[in-house]
Amino acid sequence: MFQAVSAKLAQTLLVLLIVSAASFTFLKLAPGDPVSIMLGSDYSKTSYDQLTHELGLDQPVVFQYGHWLANFVRGDWGISYITNQDIFELAVMQALPVTLTLAALSLLIALLIGIPTGVLAALYRNSWIDVLATTLAIGGNAFPSFYLGIILIWVFGVDLGWFPVLGFVAPWEDFWQGLWHLALPAVTLGAWYVGLIARITRSSLLEVLGQPYILAAKARGEPGWRVVWVHGMRNVLMPLVTVIGLQLGGMLRGAVMTEVVFALPGLGMMVTTAVLNREYIVVQAGIMLTGLLFVAVNLAVDQTYQFLDPRLRRR
């Protein structure tokens, strides 16, 4: 057990190292010069060389990477050229909680809509309910989130005025205000996930309901709702969690779009702004955090399997 977990952790660290090296190299190759951006349009050769030296940009890339990695591990992620903010503070304390809250709320909405939709579609297979659910599911999956976001802002934010169109209020500071501000972004991002969850629930449940143990549960006199929601859904959790974990990348990609559309100060917004400003070190921090998040979720999903399927438990 301990061995398996430590092997997994070593693997995870290796993945993160590769991510950091690759992204560091690519960002070095990207066009744009941070020194000239920082200095503005009017500067002398001396001040340019001096700043380049101060930032360590005159050293070989390998040294720069080693230097950056050592500092990164210590939590010293550097200072933003533009806002003079500590990047660790900006990324981990400010942007990350926003993105996590958005993602969690979107997932919750997607589960609350997607699972019942999938179950209904499976129970009334090939009926109009199934067709409607499948159409909505595929539609939600195919509809671009930036476009859905704009439509939601237009209808519910501007026209009806029910929801604020931008800004972020932390739910842990003011719960209802926070939810109110996050409602439209969470629906936008969640819509993409609803389709996925509904489709997986439908197909997995159909497979499970054909199993003899479902018939056996009925033969014990279990009522229909219990057969579906307890005996059936308990066996659907495993494929569901797998897909949710695997599609986290898509979720983070969607979060970038959604944050930009709704001007939420999350990781996506941070990286987008940094890219436009050619602030490599902020982009790098964003990439590392995203990678870390992705790897952490996969690790968590792996651990959940044993909890979800008794057959995978080690004794």
Partner 1 sequence: MNRALALNPQAVEVPASQDALLEVSNLTLRRGKAVVLDGVSLALHSGETLGLIGESGAGKSTLAMALIGLLRAPEVQLEGSMRFRGTELVTLREADYRRLRGNKIGLIFQDATAALNPCFTVGEQIAEPLKRHLGLSKWDRRERAAELMHSVGIPEPALRLDAYPHELSGGMQQRVMIAIALACNPELLLADEPTSALDVTIQAQIMELILDRVRALNSSAVFVLHDLALGAQVCDRIAVMYAGQIVEEGPSERVLAAPLHPYTQGLKSCVVELGSSTLVPIPGQIPPLNAMPAGCRFAPRCPRAQAICGEQRPVAETRDGRQIACWFID
- Nearer residue to partner 1 within complex by CB, 104 or 215: 215
217, 248, 256, 264: which one binds partner 1 (CB under 8 A): 217
- Nearer residue to partner 1 within complex by CB, 45 or 311: 311
The span of 78-86, 88-96, 173-181, 303-311 binding partner 1 (CB under 8 A) equals 303-311
The span of 8-16, 191-199, 210-218, 295-303 binding partner 1 (CB under 8 A) equals 210-218
- Nearer residue to partner 1 within complex by CB, 52 or 242: 242
228 binds partner 1 (CB under 8 A): no
21, 211, 263, 300: which one binds partner 1 (CB under 8 A): 211
Q: How far apart are CA 62 and CA 42, in angstroms?
A: 31
130 binds partner 1 (CB under 8 A): no
Q: Is 138 exposed, middle or buried (0-12, 13-18, 19+ CB in 10 A)?
A: middle
309 binds partner 1 (CB under 8 A): yes
27, 179, 218, 275: which one binds partner 1 (CB under 8 A): 218
- Nearer residue to partner 1 within complex by CB, 150 or 237: 237
Q: How far apart are CA 204 and CA 122, in angstroms?
A: 9
53 binds partner 1 (CB under 8 A): no
223 binds partner 1 (CB under 8 A): yes
In angstroms, give the least distance from the CB of 182 to partner 1. Answer: 34
213, 249, 300, 303: which one binds partner 1 (CB under 8 A): 213
In angstroms, give the least distance from the CB of 104 to partner 1. Answer: 26
Where do contacts with partner 1 occur on this chain (CB under 8 A)?
Answer: 211-213, 215-223, 231, 234-235, 308-311
